[in-house]
A = this chain, B = another copy of it.
């Protein structure tokens, strides 16, 4: 049976990535695409790489007849998402890719996003969308909140270690490198090619990046105590990819074993042989996440390196994986594309 899908905010990168993935999905059909500023335009004009597909034109959200839609992806900016989802039919399944429903507590949302949450009832219903760790809740959810792309990467590296109690919870440092597309298709001077290419820098240094809200929430819940990691993201001149280098106190062998065991049956999580480290180029354009563990020369210290594609496993691929679960489909449907290298 074909599932009718709507994508709200289809003129941004995560929207386009959803279309790319659904294009080879065996049982989904794109029935509605919205894009406020580009309403009236064809997807071929907004994203010429999708011109071979038979897609509806972009419309305003209110022009979509949601009674015919089985599931909507909401790829809108933060805050806008709250307002839009509040007005959607109450029984429509929704996967939200914004930050609006990632944090469980209204106070946390306000702390990290600087204004009160405007849809606290919805916030309570939402399930956190890190598929491998919330699979059961996602299956039955009406609203799933896609994780931050950095937040997903760091959690894949750390959750099994925190759960197993094999690392020092007060001594976690995550140095993360991310590609440019994570910042979206927004007109900012620092995102211009001439500004970004050929150089790299740290940003949001000192523990102020919003994805820390997710780390704090998830790691503390998992550990049963407050956990605060150190986290520094860096912007790298490449379009896709997140590489998290995580410094922990613990035994590398035990860490490798915990990751290997946790992800043994996971279709998208690949733990490399002990001592090897992954590269973002080898997961590019795919839903895979590669993880490596190396023992440091200093005893009792280990480094975990995790790599994924921010637009796929970090957002749109994750969203599709969750949608598959919510619709009772094969979890991997449309997601087994091999990475595109070189």
Contact = CB atoms under 8 A, between A and B. Distances in A.
Instruction: Report, nearest first, the 5 A-B pairs whose CB atoms are least far apart.
Output: A199-B281, A207-B297, A201-B279, A49-B339, A175-B175
A181 interface: yes
B295 A199 contact: no
A108 interface: no
Contacts of A195: 185, 193, 281, 342
Interface stretch (A126-134, A141-149, A282-290): A282-290
A49 to B, nearest CB: 4
Contacts of A237: 193, 197, 236-238
A13 to B, nearest CB: 6
25 contacts: A47-B282, A48-B279, A48-B290, A49-B286, A49-B339, A51-B290, A52-B268, A175-B175, A193-B239, A195-B342, A197-B197, A199-B279, A199-B341, A200-B280, A202-B243, A202-B277, A205-B292, A206-B296, A207-B296, A230-B247, A230-B296, A232-B247, A285-B340, A311-B342, A337-B337
Interface stretch (A17-25, A69-77, A88-96, A97-105): A17-25
Given A180-B193, A181-B342, A205-B292, 15 more contacts: A47-B341, A48-B278, A49-B284, A49-B338, A50-B338, A51-B270, A52-B338, A192-B193, A198-B239, A198-B281, A199-B238, A201-B281, A201-B307, A202-B303, A311-B342
Given A192-B191, A239-B194, A336-B23, A282 B51 contact: yes
Contacts of A107: none
- How often does this chain occur in the complex, in copies? 4
Contacts of A201: 243, 277-281, 305, 307
Interface in A177-227: 177, 180-181, 183, 185, 187-189, 191-203, 205-208, 212
A341 B297 contact: no
A303 B192 contact: no
Contacts of A47: 282, 341
A333 to B, nearest CB: 12
B206 A294 contact: yes
A19 B341 CA distance: 11
Contacts of A297: 206-208, 212, 228
B239 A236 contact: no
A240 interface: yes
A245 interface: yes
A29 interface: no
A169 interface: no
A303 B338 contact: no
A197 B208 CA distance: 29
Contact of A207 (B197, B243, B298, B341): B298
A239 B197 contact: yes
A280 B192 CA distance: 16
A319 interface: no
Contacts of A206: 275, 294-297, 303
Nearest to A312: B340
B303 A200 contact: no
A241 interface: yes
